[in-house]
Amino acid sequence: MSLIGTLSEIKLSDVFQLFAAGKKTGLLTASAPGRQALVRFHKGAVIHASAGRLQGDEAVLDIFGWREGQLTFVPEERVVAANVSHGVDVLIMEGQRLGETFHKMNELIPTDNVVFQMAPPPPDGAQHTVGATEWRVLRLLDGVRDLRELVEAAKLPRTEVARVLFEMTVAGFLEKVEVEKTARAQAQGRGRELAELDVRFEDEWRKVLRFEAGVLQVQVRTLGARKRAVLGVAFRPGLIRDIHLPKSALVELSVREGEDVLVRPVA
């Protein structure tokens, strides 16, 4: 493995051009705290790339937006299925033009589970053009629907919905809210058919406009199998990150005590 340098010292475009001119074959790795990206070259061409959930051309575009990270290269021959469609020149051009914005958008919207709502009034004079696409997204915002649900309801490509959310958040008209929480399942010992959560969960959810008056129900879902259950909820102090569930709900979700589940309020 050879260390090339850091992204604060060397331009990624220069590395790509150097590898293309030298017809390099091998694996380029970009590493930064909490993330890693892999770009595979074959005779100077970029044939495969991944960066977290991003694959192919989108992964390359995202890396061009990184402002820190260490670059290393391992010369090696390895057969992989190609997932990059553009040539090096186009990747560089698009990366320099859109990479920074694309990376910031992925930092704001790292998964399909993020939720947005209307923000407090922006500063006087703030403006943002709202066209048909923007309106199809805005009319669905309720502080409950996540990105995946917005895409389904708006019948728009994920990239378009994410773009609208990102641009209007940057402009000050929307804000991201933390709705889904991770909790540790425990058996309900009181025989009540309710989920019980710490009062701090409700305090945080009340910051969402939709739940200013309180939360009456929650949706509980598993991490892997994605089984779901909707239950009434009661809040009390001292539970920390535990969620106490009726035994019937544990069976329905196929969850054992001590396992993590995802919890979100429902209207």
The domain spans of the chain are: 2-108, 115-177, 181-266
CA distance 267 to 257: 27
Choosing among 3.30.310, 1.20.58, 1.10.3470, 1.10.10, the CATH entry for 115-177 is 1.10.10
186 bridge partner residues? 244
Are residues 3 and 70 in contact, defined by beta-carbon separation less than 8 angstroms?
A: yes
pLDDT digits over 78-132, tens only? Answer: 888 999 999 999 999 999 999 999 999 999 999 898 999 998 887 777 788 899 9
User: What integer pLDDT is reported at residue 1 of this predicted model?
Assistant: 54
Q: What is the mean pLDDT of the chain?
A: 92
Residue 225: pLDDT over 90 = no
Strands (E), 202-247: 217-222, 228-236, 242-245
Place of tokens 């892997």: 224
pLDDT digits over 231-263, tens only? Answer: 999 999 999 999 999 999 999 999 999 999 999
Q: Using 50, 70 and 90 to split pLDDT, how confident is the model at 224?
A: confident
CATH 2.40.40.20 fits 181-266, yes or no: yes
